[in-house]
Amino acid sequence: MADLAVTDIGVKFGGLVALESVSFAAPRGTVTGVIGPNGAGKTTLFNVMSGFVKPTSGSITWRGQPFHPRPDQLVREGISRTLQGVGLFARLTAVENVMVGAASSRQTGLGSALLALPGGDRADRKLRGEALALMERLGVADVADRCAGDLPYPIQKRVAMARALISRPRLLLLDEPAGGLGAEDLEPLVQLIKGLPADADRPCSVVLVEHHMDLVMRVCDQVVVLDFGRCVAAGTPAEVQASPEVAAAYLGVVPE
Ligand SMILES: Nc1ncnc2c1ncn2[C@@H]1O[C@H](COP(=O)(O)OP(=O)(O)OP(=O)(O)O)[C@@H](O)[C@H]1O
């Protein structure tokens, strides 16, 4: 069963067609990669899936039901998104940033603690414990109490991933997870992403946009290729790598 299905999605910005009749389904428990050259429409597709851009045409279903994503309700729906870059609150500590990721899905927690509401302390401690456990798993527990803005970029990326995971999403949208990372940071990220769908504690499907082909080919079960707003190929990483349309999109080689 597909967790998320987008059908015939079109987006126009004035006269510019950013997406034209794009369809794909993210089967439950899989990793789907969306790739394509600059300006192909990847970010626009992500923005449609997370409600930041309203499609001009087409529809989305989530777990079989019609779905009209709203950024402020995604976490409640079981969907979490990381941003290009990191998007952390620079003056909050790393662990506070992770706790913020859960705040919109809980009645209590960081918000009530900050506002000194009844029960806030207990809920805050519980949430902090969960955040620290997740940070431990991602190898960043040792920086929990440091200001996020002072941390090296690769560490900030991991904190941002922990923030996306703490709400226990059923669908994780990763916007360029390898962006700005060096070769030495890639392997742990590959292992983390590959493990997410099968994670006994918090299994989730993953859709990612990424320029880093090595990561895409290693972690994805299926790859969707966009070019000039249209889906020009879709399939397993091996199928997509062998596709003449993909060579044409990236290299300007015209398929025979
Ligand atoms: N808000 C907007 N208003 C007008 N045009 C836009 C807007 N957002 C994107 N576009 C245009 O839509 C097209 C698709 O852009 P998009 O950012 O989705 O591509 P992309 O594949 O994510 O590119 P990149 O890999 O460079 O991030 C581009 O021509 C872009 O200039």
Q: Per-residue pLDDT averaged across 101-111, rounded?
A: 61
109 has pLDDT over 70? no
How much is the ipTM here?
A: 0.96
pLDDT at 31: 95
pLDDT at 218: 92
Homologous superfamily assigned to 1-78+168-256 = P-loop containing nucleotide triphosphate hydrolases (3.40.50.300)
- Strand 2-13 with 79-81, pairing: unpaired
Residue 153 phi/psi, 5° resolution? -55, -45
* Coil, helix or strand at residue 21: strand
Q: Which residues contact 43 (CB under 8 A, 6 or more apart)?
A: 84, 175, 209
Q: Per-residue pLDDT averaged across 221-236, rounded?
A: 94
Number of the ligand 1 atom closest to the C-alpha atom of 47: 18
Whether residue 18 has its Cβ less than 6 Å from ligand 1:
yes
pLDDT tens by residue, 73-95? 888 888 988 877 778 898 999 99
Q: How far apart are CA 172 and CA 95, in angstroms?
A: 20
Q: Is 169 left (phi over 0), alpha (psi -120 to 50) or beta?
A: beta
Could you tell me which of 48, 77, 81, 51 has the C-alpha nearest to residue 62?
Answer: 77
pLDDT at 254: 56
Distance from Cα 13 to the centre of ligand 1, integer Å: 9
Tokens read off for 48: 């449609």
Q: Per-residue pLDDT averaged across 27-48, rounded?
A: 93
Q: How far apart are CA 82 and CA 74, in angstroms?
A: 12
Whether residue 43 has its Cβ less than 6 Å from ligand 1:
yes
Whether residue 49 has its Cβ less than 6 Å from ligand 1:
no
Q: How far apart are CA 170 and CA 75, in angstroms?
A: 9
Distance from Cα 44 to the centre of ligand 1, integer Å: 6
pLDDT tens by residue, 53-76? 999 999 999 988 999 988 888 888
pLDDT tens by residue, 111-169? 554 555 555 677 778 889 989 999 998 889 999 999 999 999 889 989 999 999 998 88
* Coil, helix or strand at residue 165: helix
- H or E element, residue 61: strand 57-62
On average, the pLDDT of the chain sits at 86
Closest Cα to atom 9 of ligand 1: 44
Which amino acid is located at 98 in the chain? Answer: V
48 has pLDDT over 80? yes
Could you tell me which of 238, 254, 239, 208 has the C-alpha nearest to residue 36?
Answer: 208
Number of the ligand 1 atom closest to the C-alpha atom of 13: 4
Higher pLDDT, 156 or 197: 156
Whether residue 179 has its Cβ less than 6 Å from ligand 1:
no
pLDDT at 238: 92
Q: Which residues of 210-220 are buried (b: 16+ CB within 10 A; e: fewer)?
A: bebeebbbbbb
Could you tell me which of 243, 235, 244 has the C-alpha nearest to residue 216?
Answer: 235
Per DSSP, helices labelled H in the chain are: 42-49, 74-77, 94-103, 110-114, 120-137, 153-165, 183-195, 213-219, 237-241, 244-251
Tokens read off for 124: 């805050």
Closest Cα to atom 1 of ligand 1: 13
Share of the chain above pLDDT 90, in %: 48
183 has pLDDT over 70? yes
Where do the domains of the chain lie?
1-78+168-256, 88-167
Number of the ligand 1 atom closest to the C-alpha atom of 84: 27
pLDDT at 151: 93
Closest Cα to atom 14 of ligand 1: 41
Residue pair 172/165 in contact (Cβ under 8 Å)? The answer is: yes
